[in-house]
């Protein structure tokens, strides 16, 4: 166990457990003013060779136009040194970010906040499994901080190799059911992952019963309250199955699982801490959902000793994350790209575009990375678009058109996104796309 981990565990043991039966409120205990140095740590020969080969592979991938190298470099390094993730994490203070929605944006906010104090590496391309983590860490082995996005089902593999300083649990909702499985399976996996990291500080969403179930027994938990608009995946207790109903209230199940008291509460303009202090969030990114993401990032930064004002300044400057919310040029016009990959994220994005009358293009694919099953389209409240002309494209454009017809939303099917954009009206169109469609549009915009 490293001295850093031991210090975190001792700090956690002095804090209340977050049990909802008490009236305690959490107070963030800042880390050391200066991050630990990594100069004293020397890589063993096998790890050094793995890092050099991984960097070479990543560089070649970029030069040949085959990708960012965010996976191939890490994969090669792991083939040479299976313990590369553990070795590269030694001496660093790592923040892991997981959840169904918001991982990439929150991870970028965390990375920027940490950079207000010292260099930090991050898997900003969204490569969120072990090879992506290794690829990120080996870009700068001397960086004392790391902010890493992690796939929900892979957090347990991470905590089996090393103990992060902070773990952020954002939310859980149905997504890629043919790959991930039901939400309770994911919640149980997160619970096991946290049990392997008792010294980590967990910052979790108190309004999502699935997240509460995963983190309730952890000895060091800070709770964020931002509300949960998508509630259909959290109507029953994830512990015993009892119906709990409206999660906006202070619910308590008969099995004992209950909504914890909030340490951070997201407001219409910012965030309030447990002691009543309000912090304004003048974000570059739109919507309530990004105030929630920013609150998680701020809480993580303060936990690791960052200055509040410096961290907030950097968080507020984030204007896009791996293409999300970015305005790009496609089909000879400026368009804004938005990612929506499941009912919960579609709800947020439709709420965002509902406040304007810009041309709207919706794009849905169903490839391996999306999940082949698109029956979730019928769970999305497309009725909010009634009276607004919409153009649809993508592999499953016809399925989407049928769903919109039943929602009484006028739509036109286009053979491609370019055709949809060419035929749309004046103004900057909003293009809302699911994962592979969004990824392809971002790649095209960067050529």
Q: Report the C-alpha gap between 17 and 19 in whole angstroms.
A: 5
Q: Are 85 and 161 in contact, with CB atoms under 8 Å apart? A: yes
The token duo for 272 is 């309030």
Q: Report the C-alpha gap between 122 and 126 in whole angstroms.
A: 9
Query: Does 15 show up as a binding residue in the annotation?
Result: no
Query: Does 240 show up as a binding residue in the annotation?
Result: yes
Q: Centre a 10 Å sphere on the Cβ of residue 1 and count the other Cβ atoms it contains.
A: 8
Which of 240, 247, 195 is CA-nearest to residue 221?
Answer: 195
Q: Are 276 and 207 in contact, with CB atoms under 8 Å apart? A: no
Q: Are 306 and 116 in contact, with CB atoms under 8 Å apart? A: yes
Cα distances from 59 to residues 71, 290, 362, 401, 446, in angstroms, run 11, 33, 35, 42, 18
Q: Are 211 and 172 in contact, with CB atoms under 8 Å apart? A: yes
The active-site residue, picked from 373, 381, 419, 426, is: 373
Detail the DSSP E strand segments found in 231-287.
264-266, 270-273, 278-280
Which of 187, 54, 39, 45 is CA-nearest to residue 130?
Answer: 54
Q: Centre a 10 Å sphere on the Cβ of residue 430 and count the other Cβ atoms it contains.
A: 19
Q: Report the C-alpha gap between 327 and 445 in whole angstroms.
A: 10
**Taking each helix axis from N to C terminus, what angle separates 308-317 and 103-114, rounded to the nearest 10 degrees?**
140
Which of 226, 109, 219, 245 is CA-nearest to residue 171?
Answer: 226
Q: Report the C-alpha gap between 115 and 325 in whole angstroms.
A: 22
Rg of the chain (C-alpha set):
22
Q: How many CA atoms lie within 13 A of 85 on its CB side?
A: 25
Q: Centre a 10 Å sphere on the Cβ of residue 282 and count the other Cβ atoms it contains.
A: 10
Place of tokens 């041309």: 359
Q: Report the C-alpha gap between 98 and 295 in whole angstroms.
A: 15
Q: Is 208 a catalytic residue?
A: no
Q: Which residues fall in the annotated binding site for Zn(2+)?
A: 237, 240, 253, 255
Q: Which residues are catalytic?
A: 373
Q: Which residues fall in the annotated binding site?
A: 237, 240, 253, 255
């Amino acid at each position: 166990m490293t001295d850093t981990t031991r210090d975190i565990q001792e700090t956690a043991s002095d804090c209340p457990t977050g049990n909802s039966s008490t009236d305690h409120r959490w107070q963030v205990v800042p880390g050391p003013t200066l991050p630990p140095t990594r100069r004293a740590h020397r890589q063993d020969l096998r790890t050094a060779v793995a890092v050099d080969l991984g960097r070479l592979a990543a560089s070649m991938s970029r030069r040949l136009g085959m990708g960012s190298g965010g996976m191939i470099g890490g994969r090669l390094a792991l083939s040479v040194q299976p313990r590369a993730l553990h070795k590269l994490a030694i001496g660093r203070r790592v923040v892991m970010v997981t959840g169904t929605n918001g991982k990439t944006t929150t991870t970028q906010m965390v990375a920027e906040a940490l950079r207000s104090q010292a260099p930090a590496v991050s898997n900003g391309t969204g490569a969120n499994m072990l090879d992506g983590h290794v690829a990120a860490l080996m870009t700068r082995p001397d960086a004392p901080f790391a902010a890493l996005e992690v796939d929900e089902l892979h957090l347990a593999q991470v905590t089996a190799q090393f103990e992060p300083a902070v773990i952020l649990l954002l939310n859980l909702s149905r997504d890629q059911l043919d790959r991930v499985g039901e939400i309770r399976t994911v919640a149980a996996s997160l619970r096991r992952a946290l049990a392997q990291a008792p010294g980590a500080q967990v910052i979790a969403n108190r309004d999502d019963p699935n997240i509460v179930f995963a983190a309730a027994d952890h000895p060091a938990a800070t709770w964020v309250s931002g509300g949960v608009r998508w509630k259909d995946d959290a109507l029953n207790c994830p512990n015993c199955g009892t119906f709990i109903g409206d999660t906006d209230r202070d619910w308590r199940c008969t099995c004992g699982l209950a909504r914890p008291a909030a340490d951070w509460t997201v407001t219409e303009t910012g965030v309030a801490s447990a002691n009543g202090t309000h912090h304004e969030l003048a974000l570059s990114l739109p919507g309530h959902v990004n105030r929630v993401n920013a609150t998680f990032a701020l809480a993580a930064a303060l936990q690791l000793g960052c200055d509040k004002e410096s961290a907030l300044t950097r968080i507020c400057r984030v204007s896009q994350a791996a293409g999300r919310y970015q305005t790009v040029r496609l089909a000879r016009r400026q368009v804004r790209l938005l990612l929506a990959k499941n009912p919960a994220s579609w709800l947020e994005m439709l709420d965002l575009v509902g406040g304007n009358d810009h041309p709207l293009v919706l794009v849905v694919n169903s490839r391996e990375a999306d999940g082949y099953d698109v029956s979730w389209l019928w769970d999305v409240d497309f009725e909010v678009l009634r009276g607004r002309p919409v153009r649809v494209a993508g592999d499953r454009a016809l399925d989407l058109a049928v769903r919109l017809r039943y929602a009484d939303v006028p739509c036109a099917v286009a053979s491609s996104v370019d055709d949809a954009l060419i035929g749309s009206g004046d103004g900057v169109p909003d293009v809302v796309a699911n994962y592979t469609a969004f990824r392809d549009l971002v790649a095209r915009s960067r050529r």
